[in-house]
Structure 1
Amino acid sequence: MVLLMSILKMEFNNNQYQCHTVFEYKDYPKDAGFKWEKKAKCWYTDSIILTKNLIDTLKKEKFVYEMSDSFTEQYEKEEKALKANLKAASKVASKFKAPAPVGLDYLPYQKAGIEYASKKGSALFADEMGLGKTIQAIGVINTKPNVKKVLVICPATLKTNWKRELSKWLVNDDLRNAVSVVGSKIGLSTSDIICDVMNYDLIAKKAATLALVEYDYIIFDEAHYLKNEKSKRTEEALKIKSKNFFALTGTPFLNNPFEIFTIANKLDPVAFKSYGSFGYRYCSGHFQKVDPDSLKNLDELQSKLKEAGMIRRLKKDVLGELPDKVHSTLAIPTDSSNSDFKFAIRAEGQFIEKSFKEYNSILTALSKIKKRTDEYSKKLEELRAMKTEFRSQISRIRRETAIAKAPIVAEYLQEAVESQGKVVFFAHHADVLDIVQNKLTAAGIKAVRVDGTMSQKARQASIDGFQNGDAQVFIGSIRACSEGITLTASSTVYFGEMDWTPAKMMQCEDRCHRIGQKNSVSVINVVVENTIDDYIASTLANKRIVISKLLNEENEQDGEYKEFDFDDFFKFFGMDAEKIESEEQQAA
């Protein structure tokens, strides 16, 4: 509608954008998010985003309006700053020089995120999974040499991972040396230098100690854990004193916009003032079950979140910077309350310790016996027998650990589905596949499966159900899925068990990394901290050993190998064996 004269005037007074208009046209400022000021008899806001909403609508509808000089000057200045800020929040490359440890560096889009967050102070890292939110958060801390007190709060299953990443990426030696994982029996630090990692469930129990410290930075990982503003967990978490904070989540709101309110409010209490006003503005006043049709003003919400400090990039935005496949290890801490899990981990530890004592005893004896004697030959034979028995037992031990950790792995997969959609899971043993499949089904997640017992027709039905149907998780046997399968419906691969040879795992990974895949593929090896699988993940990642010939190729443990560096293995667990000459080692 085109008016012949201006009956809507924009002004800037008392640090507010004001809209003066007649009752008939009140919906223009009201719908844009302005509030009514009774005394001044005008609509007002202090938000450049809401003001831009109104101006854009008026221009679109060719509505004639008037602007005072003070309004024009302020609006143009703030609009320019807003555009620059929104661009920085989604920037995919930067030459920003963020300190990093020797031999490590950030990708260009990570530098852009570090640059933006370091300027904002507090930030919401909302990049899609697999883009390195953890590294960026640590990167910001690296830009602040005076930071002395850091607290990371995350799910219990991620504590070990945070410990490893902090130890790897922090450039401040004092902070890196202070990294500590807090548990029910391990307390929080109150010293001058703090770098603690704790899980959300411990916040209430540690409240008294937390109240004694003001942190330089708090990092809330998987920040959707704080989505319920009325939960005790959220209330206690937001009470912790800090100068700045980071919230990390690849899914800012899993089911509806309300789930981001607590973090949004902490980032900018003025822009996101109350739960009620947030609900009316973005969910049409629906506070319980939010229907997609009731969602509104989401572009505005996106802009306000970015203006407040949200950084959001998708894999497709930075695909040119990402390698074809990104490998990472997700270490499960050993302090789980599950009794079966505890028993299996303890049994594995005892097996490693017993094997080392036997191995080292034989080596010690060999070092004292004269070479090329009958006694020496007998000891070498004893060493060979010990190694053969070790290789036989290690398969059983690994299987028992894999079964014990399978319920925890299923929880990871459930979270992955909720945050990013379809995922692929591989493991060796049928027991592990069974447990994971049953747990996911009980959680209401549809999973399909391919293993060596299935007919070709059944295999194809499972593949089609994942590729083209509504199946959310593909569960596959490493041995049965190494070729002839396309799973490009997902770009996320989890391994619940490790294989001794990279080639076998790469073949499985490549089910997702094929023609038709539009994203970089994230490959996550889920291991238990300080276990045999943790060793395998470490050695394969660092290319420390090359293992060749198969042992028992036809049995279910296909993947165990004859050549094995025992010294390297035990050293991983902090055990140094007696040294003997390499010729004797090879002979054994």
Structure 2
Amino acid sequence: METSMENIGTLEYVLDKYSKIWCWKITGERAVSMISRLVPEAWYGENVNEVIIPDSTENVKQIKLILDRYPLEILSKTTWQRKIVKTYAPKPTLPPIKHKLKRAKAGDQFRGKLLNFQKEGLDFLIKSSGNALLADEMGLGKTVQTLSYVATEKQTFPVLVVAPLVTLNNWEREIEKFLKKKSRNGRILESDSPSVTLIRTGKRKELPKTDIYVINYELLFKRYDDLAKIGIKTVVCDEVHNLRSKTTQKYKSIKKLAALSSVSYRIGLSGTPIYNRGSEIWPIIDILKPGLLGSFKEFCEYFCYVNEKGKAIVLENKRASLRNELQKHVMLRRKKSDVLKELKDKVRYKEVIAADTDYYLEELDKIWKKLEDEQKDAESEFSKSASYHRAIQSERQIAGLAKLPHVINFVKNIMEIEESVVVFCHHKVIHKLLHESLQEFSPVSIIGGQSDSVRQDQIDKFQKGESKLMIAGIRAGNVGINLTRAKYVIFAELDWSPAIHRQAEDRLHRIGQKNTVFAYYLIGNGTLDDHVANVLVDKSYEIDEIMDESVENFENKDKAELILAQIQDKIRSK
């Protein structure tokens, strides 16, 4: 019987007879199976259970990943040792930009107390002349730092705050809480707050004279003419990743507003300014500091390559230099682990749960057949693309339904420990079924379409402990709310964007959280969840390298791939 210490194959450095280049040859059924998953460009050798791998730095790393866990008999020991030393020799790296920041004192118009790192954030905004991207991780108080700047810098009013619809009321509350009103003669009115106009309609009409205007992104285009007349001095874009596409109306409207002669200060706020691809940072910076990254064409030529889908992806060897360029000129980025030493960790688990594969495959077959028919009948590329996206969305929903009974059991097991829990899902039908099936816990809900008052009431009940279970739509509950009462978050469905998941996690993992946050990603066995999880890993890998100095271990692409290879190996070995 084979033991875990026995060799699973051999490793040898050879001259390939066909390509005439030096390569690595691996033999052994298990070794070949595992390396084939890790190195797509490997090709089969002359014999059964033999594979040839091009000699490259990346491939040497992949082979070492296997050797660290499974023994291979190394037939070319001297060459292997030389390659390892060369591959893992320390490489020159770009030192991270360290901002020399002092703890600035907020102006008299500010009401409240800043933490030390928030005072440094205020100092950064002052030194940036109010044209900056504040990219602190979610939960570190970007709103309060921005308000402290507005209260400190000269001639910042009137202010235009552009934010997601669900956060407008929160901005109004924060303004009332942290800002004092200044009269026309310059006197500070301690008991009053600046006047605020919430713009909630797209109907064009003259706006009243107030200190601060708050509007959601979707209304910008319709109200541009009205906003252009009020003499805006400061533009604040909350959740500025909403402007990551330069072809949208909201982007074009903000671009024009930020370019008005009256505007002196432009501040972008987001803990996740990059949602899916590193190239999304260009439109944002083009608003805050036009020209810093050149034209989009120049940016792509220097920093990016175009993948098989035509998307601009930032090159791995350019990610550190892009991060340093951003930090040097426009961006302040702090992680919770850097500034909140008392904040506990955040731990992620990928939990594979059972799913009704018979139902899933039967419904999937219907979806693909319908897709085939629609593709044949499509009269344009747009129609083809639309039918494809409908099919993908349908698959996501049946994947959620197929694993729903097991999701419910998982939630019930967590609830037995009598802790507060937040469950995120994507589809309304899943939300409805979860709510109905978990009635014994009297859940509260956040879902798209709720009024602001209902939404806030549900949040307050959860935070006060009146209910221990919150069921939230992942796109409705990922911004503008505080759920620090809970330390368990469960993702019943997966979104395509890693930023959406991080925002949702950080509704719990933020200032005020006293416990380690446990995030469970429930993956339906036998569904496309596995594929979605791998896409998320790829996207996270690029984003982490641009935004932060290192990639977090749980999102390391190579390790994730190795884990999949190990799972396959265990199945084969049974």
Q: Same fold (TM over 0.5)?
A: no
Pick the TM interval, shorter chain.
0.3 to 0.5
**Alignment TM-score, normalising by the size of structure 2:** 0.45
Structure having the higher Rg:
1
